[in-house]
Structures are given as structure tokens and as C-alpha cells.
Chains A and B, each alone.
Chain A
Amino acid sequence: MGPLSIVSEFPEWLNLLIAFFIGIGFGFALEQAGFSSSRRLAGMFYGYDTTVLKVFFTAAIVALAGSQLLSFFGLLNLKLVFVNPYYANSAILGGIIMGAGFIMGGYCPGTGISAMSIGKIDAMVFLLGGMLGAFLFMETYPLIQSIAMENYKGNMRIDEWLGVSPGVFTLLLIIAAVAMFWIAELAEKKFSRPDITSDI
């Protein structure tokens, strides 16, 4: 029963080895999806390429539905899986700052690492900027600490918040995703930019 490293008390080196192999899969999947291309990622926000939406929501649903199924069959104890704590103000403000960075830089940190790994120089510069961003955050932390801690809601879960079961929520998310995929396919036709998409 999982999570294996917690339930079976794996030694640290084994858990780190797992991390390394998970990373190989993560980097491979991002690059295969074409997330190593900033112009492909930016297409999401101008409509000419909606790969981001398709990959992102498909992945979220596979992991969500997969973990619910594993839990249902008693193979995974979801109580032992990390649930992100919800600090409402910093989640929203941080998200807005990230969105601005996304449209300026064309990458997020994960896709930047993916692009760097195949030699994209703009991605290397993006990650250098990212290191400065992390440095500035840590140096300015005392000033923004109060914002970062405001409106803490614990490890709040969306299914509980909406008052539905995890299964029902998963189903609703799948329906929403299919609707978005349909819109995305239409958008790619409407905002098609063959001059860009043939280049990436």
C-alpha cells in the first residue's frame, strides 16, 4: 500500500533515487509535449496553440482519477499524501505575479527547466531571472511575511468545500475539461497562426 516510501519507511537514499527517476519522467513528458518551446506555451494566451490546456488538464485528471481509484481499492492512503495548505491571499497574489511572469518570459519554472535541457538560451536567462526572484523573495520576506501568512484556511479541499464527494467532483472536472478541450480546438482554428506554429 502507498505511499510506498512512507508506509514501508524507505531509507532516504531510496526516496532520493525515486525523486531522480520521477524527474526523468517529468522532464521527458514536458519536452515531448512541446513545453520546451516558449512560443508554443505563449500560444495559449493568444489562441493559436492550446497545448498547455490540453496537457495540463489531462494530466491533472489522470493523477486525480488514478489516485482516487488507488485509494478506493485500498492501494494508496491519501491521508499520507501531501495536500497543499491554502493561504488565500498569497495564493491569489502570488498567482497574479506568476501570470505576469508567464506572459513576459514565456515559461513557467518547470517548462523553463525543460527548455534549458535542450539548449534554449532564453530559458537559461529565464531561470537566472528566477534565481534572482527567489533571492529577492527571501531577502524581502520580513516585509511581506504578513501577506504570506494572511487568510490561512488549512489544508482545505475543494470537494469538501463544495460539499460533494471526491468522485463526483472528479466527474465534474472531467466534464469541464472536455468542454474546455472543445473550445480550445475551435480557438486554434479561429486564431490559427501558421507562420508561428510551423516555426515551433
Chain B
Amino acid sequence: MNKSKYMNPYLAGVLLGLVLLAAMFLSGRGLGASGGIKDTVVAVVGAVDRQHAMNTPYYSKYYQNGEHPLKNWLTLEIFGMVLGGFISGALAHRLKFKIEKSPKISNRKRLLFAFLGGLFFVYGAQLARGCTSGAALSGMAVLSVAGFVTMVAIFGSAYMFAWFFRKLWI
């Protein structure tokens, strides 16, 4: 039997759309991911050097109301994401520690570019006030121009740079 490993993409899209719709209907907001990464960094910086966090404008707003920076909607959503991904992976027998890469490149090269990719992506997401989830997908669902523009910029740029990084993938 030729088993299809993943869900049909259109069906998976409907499922993802319903999750986003549920977030809008229940909490009046969209999905997010990069914001949760930022909150984690805010929490780490606050734990390591509270003085610095209080004196730097970008961090201090997270410490003004006296609440822990991880006690918010996005962080809880991300805890859920990890569990949801784990459940899906367990059901599909995909739980495995591995470095996924093209056989033509070394582990070291894959991890170096994965690190750089993360650095660029989240830096850009802070600037654009959201990533593929929070700005592009959720933004498009509420018809925000920001959502459409960010989506076109992300995908357009990735196509523009694809030729330069083709050896990583094909």
C-alpha cells in the first residue's frame, strides 16, 4: 500500500483555517508564532539582567504591569502548539530526533543556515510586527493591507533569494 504520509493539503488548509476562525471568534485575534519567541527572549533577559530590562525601552513595557512576560495569550498558544504538533507526530509515527537536510550538504552546513535563517526571520518579523502566522495569514483573514503586503514581501523575497541558496535544497 502506498501510504500518504501527510494530510491532503487542501483539507489541512481547511483545518488550519477553522483553527484561525476559532481564535477570531473566541478571542478576537489571530494566530501567532514569532511574538512568542520574542516573549521568551524578554523573559530570559529579564531573568538574567532585570536592570537592563527595566532600562531598555523595548523590554521595560513588558515589566511595567508587574505580570510575568510569559503570562499571555501567545505564550499559552505556543505551549499548545508544541503539544498539538507532538500529538500529530505521535499519531503519524513521525517522532524522531533528526537533522533534516539534503543529502548533498553536511549537518554542519544545514545547522549553520538553519540558525542564520531563524535569526533573519525573527528579526524581520519583529520589524514587520508579525511573521507568516501573525502578519500574513491572520492579517489576510481580517483583510488588513499589512497582511497582504507582508505575505507578498515574504514569498517574493524567498523566490528572489531561492537561486542563491539552491544548493541547500536541490
Interface residues of A (CB under 8 A from B): 2-6, 15-34, 36-40, 42-46, 48, 51, 54-64, 66-67, 70, 75-76, 78, 80-88, 90-123, 125-139, 141-142, 144, 147-148, 153, 155-159, 161, 166, 169, 181, 193, 196, 200
Which of A18, A70, A101, A138 has the largest number of chain B CB atoms within 10 A? Answer: A101
Residues of A within 8 A of B20 (CB): 59, 62-63
Which listed residue (A3, A46, A125) contacts B118, Cβ 8 A?
Answer: A125
Query: Complex formed: what's the CA distance from A121 to B147 in Å?
Result: 30
Query: Which single residue of chain B is at the shortest CB-CB distance from A177?
Result: B13
Query: Nearest chain-A residue to B97 (Cβ)?
Result: A119
Nearest chain A CB to B134's CB is how many angstroms away?
8
If over half of B's interface residues share one DSSP class (helix, strand or loop), that class is named, otherwise mixed; here it is helix
Within 8 Å by CB of B96, from A87, A118, A126, A193, lies A118
Known: A27-B84, A121-B99. A103 touches B143 (CB 8 A): no
Out of B21, B84, B119, B148, name the residue touching A23 (CB < 8 Å): B84
B124 touches A22 (CB 8 A): no
Report yes or no: A91 in contact with B153, Cβ–Cβ below 8 A. Answer: yes
With A80-B28, A133-B126: A64-B143 Cβ-Cβ less than 8 Å:
yes
Q: Taking beta carbons and an 8 Å cutoff, which residues of B are in contact with A?
A: 5-7, 9-10, 12-31, 33-34, 36-38, 40-42, 44-45, 56-59, 71-74, 76-89, 92, 94-102, 110-111, 113-162, 164-166, 168-170
Question: Is A98 within 8 A of B143, CB to CB?
Answer: no
A112 with B80: CB separation less than 8 A: no
Interface centre among A15, A34, A96 (most CB of B within 10 A): A96
**Complex Cα distance A124/B12, Å?**
24
